[in-house]
Chain A
Amino acid sequence: MASKKIHAIYTDDDLLLQAVKQTRAEHYHIEEVFTPFPVHGLDSAAGVAPTRIAITSFLYGLLGLSVAVTMLNFIMIEDWPQNIGGKPSFAFYTNMPAFIPVMFEMTVFFAAHLMVVTFYMRSKIWPFKKAENPDPRTTDDRFLMAIDAENHDIDILTKFLYDTGAEEIRLIENEQEH
């Protein structure tokens, strides 16, 4: 964790987006950007790799489908193949239309819930988690870009950030671990 960094605060999302692009072009390392709402195109401007959460969701869906198939096949066909209202329980496929609603819902259930849990775990959010907010105004109407300042000349960096339109620039030193 960097012991020295700069917080530059912006008032406008367009300005922020522009600043992020300029900062990246100057090869300064952006540690984090805090915004009150999603800024369209910010992730690609900041060079964040595309998320793979959709892929995990697809795999979870397949898992849900196999759980449903295994469960139904065991309960309805193998364990106790009763004649319930004349439905054919000789093999899985003979009674499959009746199972499809369950198979569909289980697929969606697994895909949705496990993806959400994955999202929580990857973004490290849970109840009673201490908020990592550097400035409470970033949840309302300010945009904050945190830049690693360890190996840079602070004056040049400050001048540069001022030119990108930052409203407020702060040097943060010896930040505590959380």
Chain B
Amino acid sequence: MYTLPRSLKLFSIILVILGVLGIAYGFLTTPKTVEEVKEIMAAEASHGEGHDETHAAEGHDGSHESNFVDTARGEEGYAERAIAHEKEAHEEAHGISHEEHVLHQLQTRPWSATFVAAFFFMMIALGALVFYAIQYASSAGWSPVLYRVIEGVTTYLLPGSIIVFLIVVFAGTHFYPWQDHELVAEDKILQAKSGYLNFPFFLVRAIIYILGWNLYRHFSRKNSLKLAETNDIAYHQKNFKFSVFFLVFFLATEATMAWDWFMSMTPHWYSTLFAWYIFATMFVSAITVISLTTIYLKSKGLLPFVSDRHLHDLAKFMFAFSIFWTYLWFGQFMLIWYANIPEEVTYFILRIQQYNVLFFGMLILNFVFPILMLMNSDYKRIPWFVVMAGVVILVGHYIDVFLLVMPSTVGHNWHFGIPEIAAILFFLGLFIFIVGTGLSRVSLQPKNDPYIKESENYHF
């Protein structure tokens, strides 16, 4: 039986309080008017510091101009003419000034910062739930000893998914340009998509997702505990069936969730691989957190029935799904880069020009590190080694979610500052607190599972 230590409880509560203060600070310090934005921009231009020096040197809005700098042609006049033409076309088309645009992005920043962290921790719980369902549906013989740990991690799903739900529903035009009626009225592409991208349907879909996920989590946990109490195999069979149906439901809703919550932030852009890509991020982070939780509980002596072979298998999953993530990342990137179709490639131009270090640094954290650290079979059994690789993977996938959201919502007006750090602290504190209490409800040893004996004696 695990009890959340007082020190850890206090630590998580402090994190939550600090996080709330920081998030509130983020929301309260956003500029309210165009005049304030002008002051900020003047201040930035005068000292010329910050992450986008090159953009400041190029002019007001680096994102448009750098697209047109034609280094191969080396003809200055050409690029300038193109910029001038583009600017006119741009302002005519939208009828809003550049400052208004920046104002909107700055006001969106605390929303995005909160959403990135909220989704990051929610997807860990959701990914763990999928992993759990896969273990049942595949009748895995090695993993039943970990069921209570995985169930503990999925405790966070209910609060986490409700927070994410509230954010996406109330973010409105901060995230989703298609919710701006004036914009839709003059945009044929958005009009064509309004059959799917309209608010009532969006809301209904979001409700279906979180209901479906949480119902599965509720009933599978209930059956799992009943099985331990009553030794009635019917509960296991029920869980098997639930898991199979949940996996079908999840794959469908995960795809639409990715389109709804992430892809529709840039409603002119589309990618068929996108949903799988988000799934890979989710799954690898979830398995990493399961491994870290297992190592933590084992170091406290609470999981004597979990051996280093189980750890080895979890580390193998971390390794394999890091590569799977990279495969999907590259599959999406390379196809778009290669064909270079303007309407698709803007997505990556934005990220490479304005988030260069993060965009490519993420690849090192999410691919190069895990592949080199976790390739050796012996290293997969060394807890501190797995912890090290796990932390790198989690940081990398936080950046991954950051790069899904930030470039689409705040563009080049991003910083990694108080709102972002505070949101991480808040949700980390909440996650530790809820998962800790979830783990401490019942004994960590699953009983009466038909595969538990095999799992306890598992070796290879």
Q: Are A and B genuine complex partners?
A: yes
Complex contact B340–A97 (CB within 8 A): no
Q: Nearest CB to that of B376 among chain A residues?
A: A54
Interface size on A, residues (CB 8 A): 7
Complex contact B340–A100 (CB within 8 A): no
Complex contact B330–A98 (CB within 8 A): no
One of B72, B334, B337, B375 near A58 (C-beta < 8 A)? B375
Q: How far is the CB of A125 from chain B (nearest CB, A)?
A: 25
Does A86 interact with chain B (Cβ within 8 Å)? yes
Q: Residues of A contacting B416 with CB < 8 Å?
A: none
Q: How far is the CB of A92 from chain B (nearest CB, A)?
A: 15
Q: Residues of B contacting A100 with CB < 8 Å?
A: 330, 334
CB contact list, B307-347 vs A, under 8 A: 330, 333-334, 337-338, 340
One of A54, A58, A86, A97 near B333 (C-beta < 8 A)? A97
Q: Residues of A contacting B337 with CB < 8 Å?
A: 97
Q: Nearest CB to that of B336 among chain A residues?
A: A97
Q: How far is the CB of A32 from chain B (nearest CB, A)?
A: 25
Q: Residues of B contacting A88 with CB < 8 Å?
A: 72
Q: Residues of B contacting A86 with CB < 8 Å?
A: 340
Q: How far is the CB of A43 from chain B (nearest CB, A)?
A: 13
One digit per residue, 1 when the CB lies within 8 angstroms of any chain B CB and 0 when it does not, for chain A 102-137 equals 000000000000000000000000000000000000
Complex contact A98–B338 (CB within 8 A): yes
Q: How far is the CB of A77 from chain B (nearest CB, A)?
A: 15
Q: Residues of A contacting B340 with CB < 8 Å?
A: 86
Q: Residues of A contacting B333 with CB < 8 Å?
A: 97
Q: Residues of A contacting B334 with CB < 8 Å?
A: 97-98, 100
Q: How far is the CB of A40 from chain B (nearest CB, A)?
A: 9
CB contact list, A69-100 vs B, under 8 A: 86, 88, 97-98, 100
Residue among A86, A97, A98 with max Cβ neighbours from chain B (10 Å): A97
Q: Residues of B contacting A98 with CB < 8 Å?
A: 334, 338
Q: Residues of B contacting A97 with CB < 8 Å?
A: 330, 333-334, 337-338
Q: Nearest CB to that of A87 among chain B residues?
A: B338
Q: How far is the CB of B73 from chain A (nearest CB, A)?
A: 13
In the assembled complex, the Cα of A96 lies from the Cα of B23 at a distance in Å of 40
Q: Nearest CB to that of B340 among chain A residues?
A: A86
CB contact list, B47-101 vs A, under 8 A: 72
Q: Residues of A contacting B338 with CB < 8 Å?
A: 97-98
In the assembled complex, the Cα of A145 lies from the Cα of B338 at a distance in Å of 60
Q: How far is the CB of A118 from chain B (nearest CB, A)?
A: 18
Q: How far is the CB of B330 from chain A (nearest CB, A)?
A: 7
In the assembled complex, the Cα of A58 lies from the Cα of B340 at a distance in Å of 35
Q: Nearest CB to that of B330 among chain A residues?
A: A100
In the assembled complex, the Cα of A100 lies from the Cα of B331 at a distance in Å of 11
In the assembled complex, the Cα of A88 lies from the Cα of B340 at a distance in Å of 12
Q: How far is the CB of A101 from chain B (nearest CB, A)?
A: 8
In the assembled complex, the Cα of A97 lies from the Cα of B337 at a distance in Å of 8
In the assembled complex, the Cα of A98 lies from the Cα of B339 at a distance in Å of 11
In the assembled complex, the Cα of A86 lies from the Cα of B72 at a distance in Å of 11
Q: Nearest CB to that of B337 among chain A residues?
A: A97
CB contact list, B327-373 vs A, under 8 A: 330, 333-334, 337-338, 340
Q: How far is the CB of B187 from chain A (nearest CB, A)?
A: 29
Q: How far is the CB of A52 from chain B (nearest CB, A)?
A: 12
CB contact list, B368-388 vs A, under 8 A: 375, 377
Q: How far is the CB of B74 from chain A (nearest CB, A)?
A: 12
Q: How far is the CB of A87 from chain B (nearest CB, A)?
A: 8
In the assembled complex, the Cα of A88 lies from the Cα of B375 at a distance in Å of 34
Q: Residues of B contacting A54 with CB < 8 Å?
A: 377
In the assembled complex, the Cα of A149 lies from the Cα of B72 at a distance in Å of 79
Q: How far is the CB of B217 from chain A (nearest CB, A)?
A: 38
Interface residues of A (CB under 8 A from B): 54, 58, 86, 88, 97-98, 100
13 contacts between A and B (CB under 8 A): A54-B377, A58-B375, A86-B340, A88-B72, A97-B330, A97-B333, A97-B334, A97-B337, A97-B338, A98-B334, A98-B338, A100-B330, A100-B334
Contacts A97-B333, A98-B338, A100-B334 aside, 6 further interface pairs with beta carbons under 8 A come to A54-B377, A86-B340, A88-B72, A97-B330, A98-B334, A100-B330
Which 6 A-B pairs have CB atoms at the shortest separation, nearest pair first? A97-B334, A97-B337, A98-B338, A100-B330, A97-B338, A100-B334
